[in-house]
């Protein structure tokens, strides 16, 4: 039943691919190009590293669309390749505590299914977003807020227009 549900969610997210191919080191996952790091960096260092991977700084930490399609594609890829580390992604409430936005300026849906239980927490210190595996009935990839200075792996995405 769980595999069927994931399959239905992924099929509902199918869109026409706008990329002929992803530039190295990015890989195609769903309709976007991503890079899973093998480095441990703080949130700000990870953003800087992502931007350095593309001309004109067209890359940044990954952002997910509001209907969860990007999340489901990335979740499926992580599950398939057993990528169960903690990864920085491009969400923060550093500007206004409790108001979460993606690095492209869009607000983050606080009711989306990808959040861990009781997340995001209102905190003066946990202001940056990670995705990680959590063992529930099955292994799921969830989002949680953490302290931005901690070193973690990170997930970059190509063609993210950063505004923050």
Domains and CATH numbers, the chain: 26-158 (3.10.100.10)
3-state secondary structure of 136: coil
| Number of CB atoms found within 10 A of residue 101's CB | 19
Q: What is the pLDDT along the chain (164 residues), one digit of tens a residue?
A: 444 334 434 444 544 444 448 999 999 998 899 999 999 999 999 999 999 999 877 899 999 875 567 878 898 898 888 888 999 999 999 998 889 999 999 999 888 878 888 888 878 899 999 998 766 655 677 889 999 999 999 999 998 877 77
* pTM of the predicted structure, to 2 decimals: 0.84
Provide DSSP, 32-88.
EEEEE--S-B-HHHHHHHHHHTSGGG-EEE----TTSHHHHHHHHHHHHTT--S-EE
């Amino acid at each position: 039943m769980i595999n069927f549900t994931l399959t239905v969610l992924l099929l509902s997210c199918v869109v026409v691919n706008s990329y002929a191919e992803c530039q190295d080191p990015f890989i195609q996952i769903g309709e976007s190009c991503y890079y899973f790091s093998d480095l441990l960096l703080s949130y700000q260092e990870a953003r800087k590293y992502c931007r350095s991977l593309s001309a004109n700084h067209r890359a940044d930490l990954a952002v997910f669309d509001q209907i969860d399609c990007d999340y489901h594609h990335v979740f499926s890829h992580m599950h398939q390749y057993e990528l169960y580390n903690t990864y920085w992604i491009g969400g923060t409430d550093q500007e206004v505590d409790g108001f979460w936005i993606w690095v492209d300026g869009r607000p983050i849906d606080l009711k989306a299914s990808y959040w861990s239980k009781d997340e995001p927490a209102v905190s003066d210190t946990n202001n940056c977003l990670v995705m990680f595996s959590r063992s529930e009935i099955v292994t799921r990839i969830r989002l949680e807020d953490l302290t931005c200075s901690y070193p973690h792996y990170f997930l970059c995405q190509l063609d993210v227009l950063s505004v923050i």
